[in-house]
Copies of this chain bind each other. A is one copy, B any other.
């Protein structure tokens, strides 16, 4: 099926009626991609939702643009290379005057800041709006930048009525400067279309790919990545542990328009002959540098798992369920030393700052079952992650915090509140949480329940869980199911949080339902091919698709049709 993606038919095979559109920013290079859904007029009334088109956030990159000549072997065009030349603009600086770089203007090209770093955070703190910030402002606003954009791009993103209608580059800059959001974008990954992770923005989702202990071809993993971003993955983590992972990772990076994350300890362990006790800071550091040079955008680093916390975890029902966590715990026990990621944390910060790689501070002690949720081991590690966040911020690194795991519904809010408190509102990135332990085969749903809740409470990104969780590695169907149910959870959270523009999609669907306009319903579904298949299976004759009643109730019991008659009566004054 991804073959169709590669065959340059654009969105059509997956999202009929959709096409790629771009909204241009302040320079010709800043072209922000969207998926535009064209809606058919439902009836003679011309009352199709809004303008007859709906613009949706799009993660699929040039792969769904028939105008761009994409091939796996060649890789994507290096969009951001040219941005090194784009003149930078000044925002409303949050620095005090004495903190301003003296002498030269704040405008300029990616100058290094006070800390020596020129990360998005460093630049944001100097009051500089980067092309990446402008790009994500347009992207988060769903391109609703005409009219208000030009005048409001340094304003507060509110419309004439005072309601928030979008995001300005200045708002993005401020959130990044204050550490409440990150733009993961290694400068060695120029193919990236920038995106932002933070509680004020749309909730994001991550899809994991990668093979364990098996050979995997670079092409196969690239296809998985494309499949995941087609359905809506905002970032992709390559968790490969097998042979040839460096080559695979490079192929993924060269073809990925979304940020790529990794867990470098896996490759380091491979180099240590699969023996945790043979690991060393030097092996790990070299691995970081190699992956950094390839362009990885964020690293999961389990630096918060301190040696003294291990006994707390050993007493648990499920113990340590994080792969990275258990590897490091083994190392600590073998050497009777503190975790080398903790002791070398400032050196790690230097490497990450150099490339502007974001931290995803790993939760090696996340609970692996309800019985262990919010326990001493988890909370001790979280507190350490808060301390490390501040150290990373001092070096102008961008940071997000990883979270659980398995948590009963009544303990989810506490997770978010504690993270906000001890990590100063750094973006939270959770795996689920799964709200029960018994859902094997349906853990994507257990995760979507917990994920929707924690995202509503303020979590910025959800790591997907597939139906194969706890059982095996996901295949293509599992990747799609995992992405879609978490996208659904993330969208539900956007709606609950009142993210600007998020309900337009739902309202367009509701209008299509009310009008019994099947084609528009399919076009607006999160998975049009599945929606069409389900509807057609139910309509015994294909012509029923066009008939004016709901296929669930049949013609005589169709609430939508009866309801339309009532509406007409009212309009005629007969109510």
Contact = CB atoms under 8 A, between A and B. Distances in A.
B566 A320 contact: yes
Contacts of A566: 310, 313-314, 319-320, 326, 329-330, 333
A474 to B, nearest CB: 9
A323 to B, nearest CB: 5
A563 interface: yes
Contact of A495 (B436, B525, B555): B436
Q: Summarize A's interface: helix, strand, loop or mixed.
A: helix
A560 B318 CA distance: 8
A446 B484 CA distance: 11
B575 A467 contact: no
A497 B436 CA distance: 13
A172 interface: no
Interface string A297-327: 0000000000000110111011111110111
Contact of A445 (B321, B470, B488, B511): B488
Nearest to A485: B445
B437 A509 contact: yes
A563 B556 CA distance: 61
A563 B321 CA distance: 7
Classify chain A's interface size.
Answer: 35 or more
Q: Identify which of A470, A489, A554, A557 gathers the most chain B CB atoms within 10 Å of its CB.
A: A557
Nearest to A478: B534
Contacts of A534: 440-441, 467-468, 471-472
A7 interface: no
Contacts of A492: 408-409, 435-436, 446, 449
A445 B551 CA distance: 21
Give the copy number. 2
Interface stretch (A21-29, A177-185, A499-507): A499-507
Contacts of A567: 314, 319
Contact of A562 (B329, B530, B537): B329
B575 A370 contact: no
A85 B405 CA distance: 53
Given A313-B566, A449-B492, 8 more contacts: A319-B566, A326-B562, A327-B557, A369-B513, A435-B492, A437-B505, A449-B452, A468-B534
20 contacts: A212-B552, A213-B554, A213-B557, A241-B554, A241-B556, A276-B562, A311-B575, A315-B570, A318-B510, A318-B514, A320-B562, A329-B563, A369-B510, A408-B495, A409-B492, A409-B495, A437-B507, A449-B452, A453-B453, A471-B538
Interface of A: 212-214, 241, 266, 269, 274, 276, 310-311, 313-315, 317-323, 325-327, 329-330, 333, 368-371, 408-410, 435-442, 445-446, 448-449, 452-453, 456, 467-473, 475, 484-485, 488-489, 491-493, 495-498, 503, 505-507, 509-511, 513-514, 521-522, 524-527, 530-531, 534-535, 537-539, 550-560, 562-567, 569-570, 574-575
